[in-house]
Amino acid sequence: MEIRPILSALMRSKVSMILIGLQVALTLAIVCNALFIIGQRLERMDRPSGMNESDTFWFGSNGFGQGYDANAVQLSDLALLRQMPGIAAATSTNSVPMSNGGWSTGINLQPKQKTSTAQTTLYIVDAQGLDAYGVKLVAGRNFKPEEIKTVKFGDRLQPAAIIVTKALADKLYPDGDALGKQVYMDEEPPTSTIIGIVERTQVPWVDAEFIDYSTFVPAYMPYGNSTRYLVRAEAGRRDEVMKEVEQKMSQSNTSRIIGKMRTIASVRSDAYAGDRAMAIILGTVIVALLAITALGIVGMASFWVAQRTRQIGTRRALGATRFDILRYFQTENFIITTLGLLVGGVLAYALSLWLMQNYQSPRLPWYYVPIGFVCLWVLGQLAVLGPALRASHVPPAVATRNV
C-alpha cells in the first residue's frame, strides 16, 4: 500500500489529525511518568522493616495517681507478659519501625565531631528486645541482663554496649569491621561498643533518608508514668494473644489505662496510607487517559468512515478487497499515533526533568517510553479496528447511489 494517498487524505483533515496526535502525545507523557511514580510508591511500600510483622503488636500503659511507680510496674508487666501462654517474647520499648514517632541522634567515630558520621534512631529495649522485634542477629551477641540499666527519662543515655543494623555498621565502617568498635552517641565520651549487628531494622520515619540506620540501646526508661510494650506472639496466635494480654494487663493493675493494641501490620498500613492513595489516584488517572484516548481514536475513525462512505464504495467497485480497506484505516491510524508518540516521547522526558528539578524525583528510566510506545500503538490499532471493520463491509453499490 502506498503511503502518499493516506498522507494526502490526512492533510485534508489537519485539525482532527493534530488533536488526536496531541492527545496521544500527552497520554504517553503522563502515563509513563505516572507509572514510574506508582512503581516507586509500590517499591517504597514493600520495603522490609526487618521485624516479624505478622505476629507482633504493641501497646501503651499509662499510670495515674500518687505513688505510681512506673519502673516497678514496668518490671512486673514484663514478668507477667513473659509467663503468658502464646507469647514468644516481650520487651519495653520507645518506638517501632514505621510508627512515625521516636528518637534519633548522631553517631560519631571521633569526639567533638562537627558533623555526625551518621544519623540513627534509638530503640530502647531489654535483653528480649531483639526476640520481640523478630530481627535477625548476623554478627556478635545479644544484650546480657546485667547490661540493662534503669535510666530516668530525660537523662543522657550512656550505653556501654549497643547493637546496630548492618546498614549502619557499613556506613560507620565500610571495611566491614564494625563489630567490637567504639563509637560516640554524643559529641563527648563515654563511648559505646558495638557488640552485635542485626540484618535490618527500619527507623520509625518512612520518609527518612537514613531508613535502615537503627541502633538498639539496653535500658529501662519509662516516659513519666507511661511505658510501651512490644509483644511477639507465637506463629498464628497474635489475635488470640492480643485479647488475652489486654485483659490480663488491665486486671493486674487498676491504677493505669491500657492503650489500644496495634498490630505492626496496621502500623505499616497507616504509615504508607498516603503512598497507597497516590498509587490508586494515579492508576485511576492512567485508566481514564487511556480510555479517553481510545474513544478519541474511535470517534475520529468513525467520523472519517462516515465521510468517506462513497469513496470506500468506489474503491471496492474498482477491485479493492475488504482487507485493503481495513489495512488503509489501520495504516492511517498508525501514522497519526506514531507522530503523536514521537512528540509524546519528548514530552515524557521533559516532564520527568521538571519533576526532578521541582520535587527531587528520580530520572525516568529510558525504557518506560519505548514500552509506552508499544502499548499505545497496540491501543490505537485496537481502537480503530471497529470503525475499520465497518468500513471494510461497505458494499461497492454505495458508489452508484444518488447518481
Q: pLDDT tens digits, the chain, 403 residues: what are they?
A: 567 666 666 666 677 778 888 999 999 999 999 999 999 999 999 999 999 999 999 999 999 877 889 899 999 999 999 999 999 999 999 999 999 999 999 999 988 888 889 999 999 999 999 999 999 999 999 999 999 988 887 777 788 999 999 999 999 999 989 999 999 887 667 789 999 999 999 999 999 999 999 999 999 988 888 999 999 999 999 999 999 999 999 998 888 999 999 999 999 999 999 999 999 999 999 999 999 999 988 888 887 777 777 777 777 787 778 888 888 888 888 888 888 999 999 999 999 999 888 887 889 998 999 999 999 999 988 888 888 888 888 887 765 665 4
Contact 159, 219 (CB under 8 A): yes
DSSP 102: -
- Please return the burial class of 101, using the count of CB atoms within 10 Å of its CB with bins 0-12, 13-18 and 19+: exposed
Say yes or no: 77 and 226 in one domain. Answer: yes
C-alpha cell at 19: 488533536
Of the residues 221, 254, 287, which one is the last residue of a structural domain? 254
Per-residue confidence (pLDDT) for residue 237, from 0 to 100: 94
Range of the domain at 178: 65-254
Residue 54 lies in a domain: no
Report the alpha-carbon distance of residue 337 to residue 362 in Å, rounded: 28
Residue 56 lies in a domain: no
CA atoms within 13 A on the CB side of 110: 4
Per-residue confidence (pLDDT) for residue 31, from 0 to 100: 94
- Which residues are 119's β-sheet partners? 106
Say yes or no: 23 and 127 in one domain. Answer: no
Say yes or no: 34 and 71 in one domain. Answer: no
Report the alpha-carbon distance of residue 337 to residue 317 in Å, rounded: 30
Say yes or no: 70 and 39 in one domain. Answer: no
Per-residue confidence (pLDDT) for residue 403, from 0 to 100: 44
Per-residue confidence (pLDDT) for residue 196, from 0 to 100: 96
Evaluate if pTM is beyond 0.75: yes
Report the alpha-carbon distance of residue 53 to residue 339 in Å, rounded: 50
Say yes or no: 73 and 191 in one domain. Answer: yes
Cis peptide before 387 (omega within 30 of 0): no
Of the residues 193, 222, 254, which one is the last residue of a structural domain? 254
